[in-house]
Structure 1
Amino acid sequence: MQHHHHDIPPGCPAHATHRLYGPEFGADPEGHYAHLRSLGPSATVDIAPDVQVELVTGYDDALSLLQHPELFVRDSRRWNALREGRVPQDSPALPMMGYRPNALFADGAAHARLRQAVTDSLATVNELQLARQVQQSADYLISVFSTRGQAELMADYAGPLPLLVFSDLFGCTREIGDRVIVGTTGIFEGTPGADEVLGGALAELIALKRSTPGPDLTTRLMLHPAGLTDEEVLHQLVTLLSGGTTPTAATIGTSTALYLSEDWQVGLPVEDAVAKTLWNYAPIANYAAHYPVQDVDLGGRILRENDPVLVSFAAANTDPKLSEHREQLSAKAHLAFGAGPHACPAKDPAFMIAVKAVETLSNRLPDIEMRVAFKELAWVPAPWSRSLVTLPVRFGPRTLRSAAQTTARAQSAEGAAAPRPAGSSPRPAAPAAGKQGLFSRFLAWTRGE
């Protein structure tokens, strides 16, 4: 039966759909979550124009849903509205919720197989080596803006840092790494054709690792006993990239802003700023679409079979009912990394990357300060992630060199002030006519070229 809006009296609940996107939502996410929580354990929201979902906002209810995979499955091919053609084909919800053959949208044995390959491969990442990769990526990015005395940390630092780390972990060549970064960034910015750029770069990477395996995540996924096809490897890499870069960038940005804010207690470790971010500003704010396999009663609300139910990690983490016993909970009891069979398989590395990124920044630029108060910073007006739009900072300008460059300079000084080798200037030159992308410039810098 179709409801015509003019039949519904104004002020009637059916009239009010709550928009989880746009400037009003971006200006006050907490206010929206508080209102939605007042409506019960879940509420109907618009996640994008003409796309309605049920949003679970209470901590206990969210945890219960995540821990009952037999009732709530992840395969979005079940989505009623999508099957019936009621979701606009150009909806921004489709790239986020549409089915892909990866662990995120799989259930049962299929999910277990793909997830095992991912967790086993991630388990082989050496923590000390990863810390060095993060430090090197951080040093490179800081070297690019350190001479300017000011920076916008979301674009200059928090955004690119995880992309450099992942291109490194995947064992990318310069050229493939450049395209992986362009493609991944483009997907999140909605750039047309970005999907194809990323898919093409990863297919090339997989072909390369077939002929020359290496000590990298791509090779480990390909050689895993689960026997993933090349297509499956590609889709797991996409999941790792999307799950590992944008949320990590958001975590680095918010943690840095908290750590530099006027209210931060001097002497508290960076770990505390990252933990506070994960609790109060969940980087993946509203996501994890589940589809009930039958009608389910959730605290008096009926969740209809195959209608999407999303989890508001942001609202659940800041549930006032939780604050009464939050002190007794483990510091890691937040839902920022999810819970249940689909919980993030890379919690520890993600936490470490964020901590190392904030520490390196404050060590290299000890006088760094924000140019705007924390409470005046703007948040991205999208439902999926809680991320700062910009993070403007200032500091005393200085020159930062890579270890390779420092060695090269020392050697050239010994050679009776030999002429400086081309490309060893402290700040990398802009790429000539778009030839060199971010990953190429980073690798050149680490090698003192």
Structure 2
Amino acid sequence: MQHHYDTNSAEIPPGCPAHGNVPLYGPQFGSDPEGTYEYLRSLGPSAPVDIAPDVEVELVTSYDAALYILQNPAWFVRDSRRWNALKQGRVPSDSPALPMMGYRPNALFADGARHARLRQAVTDSMATINELHLVRQVQQSAGYLISRFSSRGQADLMADYAAPLPLLVFSDLFGCPPEIGDRVIVGISGIFEGTPGADEVLGGALSELIALKRRTPGTDLTTRLMQHSAELTDEEVLHQLVTLLSGGTAPLTAAIGTSSALYLSEGWPVGLPVEDAVAQTLWNYAPIANYAAHYPTHDVELGGRTLRADDPVLISFAAANTDPKLTEHREQLSAKAHLAFGAGPHACPAKDPAIMIVVSAVEALLNRLPDVETRIPFKALAWGEGPWSRSLVTVPIRFTPPVVPVSAGPASAPVGSASAATARSSASVAPQSSAASRPAHAAPHAKQGMFSRFLAWTRGES
């Protein structure tokens, strides 16, 4: 622990147990994460950092080293109950690292046969997603959100569009009725905003959803998880849902916001499709920046450093993707060789639906607001200061308010966009959600939340 990084900076928290560790949070990191990663690379393929005050981890910044760890589950496991500092009481009980790194009984923190069983249930359930329906749901969600701000001629792309859109799509995919969907959104949003009691709100809503699906099965992801041959308990179903919801919301928000801002930026080449902006985002601005804690089963030598058994080793997907040793021959790699979705047995099982959601969301914005532009240059946009996600704080946009109100129907596709063309051709055959088939004269529920208002809008009730 002899490395030092701007030790005179006020960003080093008082009482830090290893003065000189790079703090991977706060204004200094948020303003220049690339500079931080560059410094860390000078120390080797990994280096000690403080992921939160009084919480030290080893951060892997090398692409090759990251891939080695991700693909070596025998030596590097995911069960955070092994975490030395946590077992020894050296992690503050209110640390912001605990909600992200603390153990949960789901596939993300499981190893071996248990991980294989839980993951198979998730991947098999995800494989049943109807792509045409998913695109239509994104388009409907986009239309609703844009209708809420289109008359103003300006909006914040992050708060008004990128943040709520995944929540609306997920509420539909998981078969939430309006009142439960409202509470799921409140719970998920509260977790990321640090709202007290948000975990309980989300857990209560998902417990009710599981009980409902026991009584009345549907064709949604919740029902498919419950009916899978792996025979998940209700508790296991709940924790897989929490992982899918919370693990998908922030990354999708970041990817939609960054891809949109990049596509609208002053330096974006004319004629390149939205898919290229999404690919560049995944390579250069990995939405999940630093995560995937692994615990060595024994001391491991890596690039001259010893990774101690049961001390957390985090993967910097952001640093690995921009590793100079990688960029020298990146053109020869597959366009999908980035680590934005991880690699190995714990790679994200939902990468294809995730990319489809992001591409469809960006296309919908461009289609419905053809002259939309950002009010601040891309390079001047502010990024979040946290270690986990690489996300823009705000993206002010402006546009000409549509003469005709934005509708829920599918938008026409931009030239050169394959996925939008698919969406356009399939819109008439995509299945409707069960909620959308309810009679238009039904009275709206009192004190409606976002999902209830969205469903009412799709039925022409508001």
TM-score, normalised via structure 2 length:
0.88
Distance 1:403 1:101 in 2: 40
Quote the Cα distance in structure 2 between the aligned partners of 1:121 and 1:402: 27
Once the two structures are TM-superposed, the CA of residue 397 in structure 1 deviates from its matched residue by 1.1
**Matched ranges for 1:14-413 at <5 A:** 15-398=19-402, 399-403=405-409
Is this contact kept in 2: 1:42–1:58, CA < 8 A? yes
Give the CA deviation at 1:402.
3.0
Q: Report the 3-state secondary structure (helix = DSSP H, G, I; strand = E; otherwise coil) of the residue aligned with 2:152.
A: coil
Whole-Å separation in 1 of the counterparts to 2:87 and 2:442: 55
Q: CA deviation at 1:422?
A: 9.1
Superposed displacement of residue 77, structure 1: 0.3
Deviation of the 1:244 alpha carbon: 1.3
Describe the SS at the equivalent of 1:238.
helix
CA contact (8 A) 1:114 1:226 kept: yes
In structure 1, list runs of 5 or more residues that go unmatched. Answer: 405-420
Deviation string for 1:243-280 (max 9, x for gaps)?
21110110000000000000001110000000000000
CA-to-aligned-CA distance 1:55-95 (integer Å, 9 cap, x gap) = 00000000000000000000000000000000000000000
Alpha carbons 1:368, 1:396 under 8 Å: kept: yes
Deviation at 1:423, TM superposition (A): 11
Cα pair 2:47 2:58 within 8 Å, conserved:
yes
The equivalent residue for 2:456 is: 444
1:377 maps to a residue whose letter is L
Partner of 1:250, secondary structure, is helix
* CA distance in structure 1 between the partners assigned to 2:145 and 2:442 by the alignment: 16
Distance in 2, Cα, partners of 1:202 & 1:156 = 25
Q: CA deviation at 1:15?
A: 3.8
Shift of 1:403: 4.6
**CA-CA distance at 1:242 after TM superposition:** 1.3
- Which residue matches 1:412? none
| Paired residue type of 1:21 | Y
Tell me, in whole angstroms, the C-alpha distance in 1 between the residues paired with 2:441 and 2:209: 30
Q: CA RMSD in A?
A: 2.2
1:403/1:446 contact within 8 Å kept: no
| Helix, strand or coil at the partner of 1:305 | coil
Which 4+ runs in 1 deviate beyond 2 A? 401-404, 421-424
Give the AA of the match of 1:204: E
Partner of 2:436: none
Partner SS state of residue 151, structure 2:
coil
TM-score scaled by structure 1? 0.91
CA distance in 2, matches of 1:52, 1:144: 43
Report the Cα offset of residue 104 of structure 1.
Answer: 0.3
Distance in 1, Cα, partners of 2:158 & 2:442: 27
Could you tell me which residue of structure 1 aligns to residue 424 of structure 2?
none
State the partner residue of 1:416: none
Distance between the aligned counterparts of 2:133 and 2:190, measured in 1? 28
Q: What's the CA shift for 1:401? A: 2.8
Match of 2:84, as an amino acid?
Answer: N
